[in-house]
A = this chain, B = another copy of it.
Amino acid sequence: MKIAALAGGVGGAKLAHGLAQILPQKKLTIIVNTGDDFEYLGLSISPDLDTVCYTLAGLANPVTGWGRIDETWNTFDNIAKLGGQTWFRLGDRDLGTHLERTFRRKRGDKLSTITQDFCHAWSVKHRILPMTDEPVYTMVNTLEQGELPFQEYFVHQRCKPTVSGFRFDGVEKARPAPGVLEAINNADAVVFCPSNPWVSIDPILTVAGLRPACEAKPVVAVSPIIGGQALKGPAAKMYRELSIQPSALAVARHYADLLDGFVFDKVDSDSNLSIQEMNITTLLTNSIMEDMAGRRRLAKDVIDFVNTLL
């Protein structure tokens, strides 16, 4: 069985890692959000892509989920000393990734090519693709400050402004990166990892042709909302500010017609009937991935569940 998994952020990276543990190299392609990419200190930063790559490479910081393990911070200590901007702190090891990527992008290399080379260097065997090689910038519309670039909202302002909507700047011109459409078309099923629906999965689905490609396949989403909360990130806060009660049901409704199956936590069993009434098959399980075994367990649950849908 071939799987195309859509991911972005820490939770998505964890399930992608679990899937990579149980699926052979040729059976899994991970398509990653690039809507939160940005330019910082002249560097091209691709936070979601790096989080997924580092996680699969075993290089991710196990405490934060993003950034590098055994990291040092000497470069940014000096930049802080020099009065430079440090609202987005980059570790020394991590900086090597951004410097080399920026250098290669300025030379004309595509993000997808660079990602492939980096994964090869890090011995990541499964294919990780950016959703597009073209620039797409997630913009967060806020009540207080109008439209903010995603990282300005997410990191600099720590998600404090009240969200009123989203826009994916540039997405109308963005084509899927080489291999993305083929990976979905050739997949037996598409898995939406437990990533933020608004700012991780939606940007991917908005790239030309990707939503229709997913619609043609069995799609299983894993809820990032557990017990009304997001384990990480602003998903629940976003739902509330958009006047939607954050819940597994809200996530299922978000994807609605796209979904054939929905995986969510047993603590949210009260949502089960409503989701089933949407003509979506459900799997209630333990969806918290506390450790490596947890990632593998949830991945196995998802794959077994997908199998029942085919």
Query: In the complex, what distance in Å separates the CA atom of A42 from the CA atom of B122?
Result: 23
Q: Is the C-beta of A77 less than 8 angstroms from some C-beta in chain B?
A: yes
Task: Tell me whether chain A's interface is mostly helix, strand or loop, or mixed.
Answer: helix
Query: In the complex, what distance in Å separates the CA atom of A78 from the CA atom of B69?
Result: 12
Closest to A101 in B: B82
CB–CB A82/B42 < 8 A: no
Question: Which one of B77, B91, B96 lies within 8 Å of A96 (CB-CB)?
Answer: B77
Closest to A94 in B: B78
Q: Which B residues touch A102, using CB under 8 A? A: 42
Closest to A81 in B: B121
Distance in Å from the Cβ of A29 to the closest Cβ of chain B? 22
Known: A83-B121, A117-B83. A78 touches B106 (CB 8 A): no
Query: In the complex, what distance in Å separates the CA atom of A75 from the CA atom of B79?
Result: 15
Distance in Å from the Cβ of A88 to the closest Cβ of chain B? 12
CB–CB A96/B118 < 8 A: no
Residues in chain A within 8 A of chain B (CB atoms)? 41-43, 71-72, 74-79, 81-84, 91-97, 99-100, 102-103, 106, 117-118, 121-122
